[in-house]
């Protein structure tokens, strides 16, 4: 049997980063505000330009970016923030960190926002975070329209959506603020880190100060200086800056992004096509305006009861492939009922039903098409083994 590719290994960091890291280590200059043009400032300029945004602020994580976004918007304590019920536990956590209350919106079996539930809950909230979970874009035309009509600020958690477009426009530029992650499992890998982008100078000035641009360090940001003067000394300093070494590790990866996006999409679509031939598996279609940049694949199990679902996971695991059903493992951070730090976890039957049969397999861009074939075969065979044991046996 062919060996199962390791889907958790990272791609090597480009050599250019190694030289730059060595140079920085030699200088000892690791703090973004000592130099006038630190690698962090350069990363911000390059990232903003790449996304077609006016301003960018690099921070310590995407969670920090989400937190600072809510603070920059100026939400009062206990303001309600609408988030998808299908997201990573860091998202409701960022809302709580910002002294706000997360309100969970139902998601459908295509992993996207349920618009009926969204419209019903919108009147009661002060802000919206759309998490494009696993890079699945919800109907942003409808969501933007509803938010605009109600004058509710929209923040995009684009941690999984770097390189994704909607009607050709970059995800992360559709709302007031877009937030991205540089954690190792995302498309740009610095171990940890994040960045936020916006066209609004006032929001950016507030976020810059609160990220830890104390005293006159904000002068090193190319943002309207009037906005800074207005907020100086009026906002807390949460110190969530990015380290210079992290920026040096990310910058040479920006050029690799188009290749990673293209290969990730190729790998995903290649596996999806094969999986969709199984009567037991369905990979939901993307929405029409969406061009995805996936580094993993999600699919729904069809007509498998709980026992067989477990058998399916065990069979794939025995063949060497880790398939996670979001709702089946006891501590999955993407299953809303595990967010026991919330004071009120509502029942959300649609999202729960989806999580109980939605599978998650990493499919990093560095895998070859042959690697993807091996993965697809293991998944198809595991479904066949569980659902048609006699037929599967004959095929061995």
Ligand X SMILES: *Cc1c(COP(=O)(O)O)cnc(C)c1O
Query: In Å, how far from its chain's centre is CA 129?
Result: 12
Least distance to ligand X from the beta carbon of 389, Å? 36
Least distance to ligand X from the beta carbon of 66, Å? 7
- Tell me whether residue 207 or residue 376 sits nearer to ligand X (CB atom): 207
Least distance to ligand X from the beta carbon of 254, Å? 17
Least distance to ligand X from the beta carbon of 82, Å? 15
CB distance 294 to 363 below 8 Å: yes
R_g over Cα of the chain? 22
Alpha-carbon span 330 to 347, nearest angstrom: 17
CB distance 280 to 304 below 8 Å: yes
Least distance to ligand X from the beta carbon of 269, Å? 21
What order do you get walking across the sheet with 127-131 strand by strand? 55-59, 194-198, 177-181, 154-157, 127-131, 80-84, 101-105
Least distance to ligand X from the beta carbon of 135, Å? 9
CB distance 103 to 80 below 8 Å: yes
CB distance 178 to 158 below 8 Å: yes
Name every residue whose Cβ is closer than 8 Å to that of residue 53 and which is 6 or more positions away in sequence. Answer: 172, 173, 178, 197, 198, 199
- Tell me whether residue 136 or residue 286 sits nearer to ligand X (CB atom): 136
- Tell me whether residue 178 or residue 194 sits nearer to ligand X (CB atom): 194
- Tell me whether residue 5 or residue 194 sits nearer to ligand X (CB atom): 194
Least distance to ligand X from the beta carbon of 306, Å? 27
- Tell me whether residue 224 or residue 342 sits nearer to ligand X (CB atom): 342
- Tell me whether residue 197 or residue 386 sits nearer to ligand X (CB atom): 197
**In Å, what is the CA distance from 230 to each residue of 38, 48, 69, 119, 226?**
25, 23, 18, 35, 6
Residue 181's region, left for phi above 0, alpha for psi from -120 to 50, else beta, is: beta
Q: What residues line the site for ligand X (CB under 6 A)?
A: 61-63, 87-88, 90-91, 131, 133, 157, 159-160, 181, 183, 194
- Tell me whether residue 160 or residue 206 sits nearer to ligand X (CB atom): 160
The 3-state DSSP class for residue 290 equals strand
Instruction: List the one residue out of 203, 258, 200 whose CA is nearest residue 53.
Output: 200
Number of H helices, E strands in the chain: 14, 14
Burial 123-154 (b: 16+ CB within 10 A, else e): eebbbbbbbbbbbbbbbbeebbebbeeeebbb
- Tell me whether residue 174 or residue 376 sits nearer to ligand X (CB atom): 174
- Tell me whether residue 90 or residue 146 sits nearer to ligand X (CB atom): 90
Least distance to ligand X from the beta carbon of 295, Å? 11
- Tell me whether residue 170 or residue 183 sits nearer to ligand X (CB atom): 183
What order do you get walking across the sheet with 324-325 strand by strand? 281-282, 296-301, 358-362, 324-325
Least distance to ligand X from the beta carbon of 294, Å? 12
Alpha-carbon span 45 to 213, nearest angstrom: 17
Least distance to ligand X from the beta carbon of 106, Å? 17
């Amino acid at each position: 049997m062919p060996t199962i590719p390791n889907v958790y290994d990272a791609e090597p960091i480009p050599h250019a980063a190694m030289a730059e890291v060595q140079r920085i280590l030699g200088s000892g200059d690791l703090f973004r505000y000592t130099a006038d043009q630190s690698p962090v400032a350069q990363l911000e300029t390059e990232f903003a330009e790449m996304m077609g945004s006016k301003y960018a602020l690099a921070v310590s994580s995407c969670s920090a970016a989400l937190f600072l976004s809510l603070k920059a918007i100026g939400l009062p304590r206990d303001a309600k923030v609408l988030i998808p019920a299908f997201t990573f536990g860091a998202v409701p956590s960022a809302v709580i960190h910002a002294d706000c209350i997360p309100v969970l919106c139902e998601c459908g079996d295509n992993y996207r926002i349920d618009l009926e539930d969204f419209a019903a809950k919108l009147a009661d909230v002060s802000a919206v975070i759309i998490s494009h979970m696993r890079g699945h874009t919800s109907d942003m035309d409808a969501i933007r329209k509803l938010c605009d009509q109600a004058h509710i600020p929209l923040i995009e958690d684009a941690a999984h959506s770097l390189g994704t477009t909607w009607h050709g426009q970059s995800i992360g530029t559709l709302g007031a603020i877009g937030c991205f992650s540089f954690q190792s499992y995302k498309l740009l890998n610095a171990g940890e880190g994040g960045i936020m982008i916006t066209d609004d100078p006032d929001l950016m000035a507030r976020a810059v100060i609160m990220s830890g641009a104390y005293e006159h360090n904000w002068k090193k940001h190319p943002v309207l200086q009037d906005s800074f003067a207005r907020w100086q000394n009026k906002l807390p300093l949460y110190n969530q800056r990015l380290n210079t070494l992290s920026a040096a590790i990310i910058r040479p990866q920006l050029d690799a992004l188009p290749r990673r996006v293209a290969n990730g999409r190729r790998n995903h679509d290649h596996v999806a096509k094969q999986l969709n031939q199984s009567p037991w598996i369905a990979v939901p279609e993307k929405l029409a305006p969406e061009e995805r940049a996936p580094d993993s694949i999600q699919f729904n199990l069809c007509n498998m009861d709980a026992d067989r679902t477990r058998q399916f996971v065990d069979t794939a695991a025995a063949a060497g492939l880790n398939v996670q059903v979001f709702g089946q493992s006891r501590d999955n951070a993407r299953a809303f009922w595990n967010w026991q730090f919330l004071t009120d976890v509502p029942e959300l039957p649609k999202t729960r039903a989806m999580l109980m049969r939605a599978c998650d397999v990493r499919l990093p861009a560095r895998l070859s098409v042959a690697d993807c074939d091996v993965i697809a075969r293991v998944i198809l065979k595991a479904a066949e083994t569980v659902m048609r044991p006699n037929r599967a046996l004959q095929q061995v």
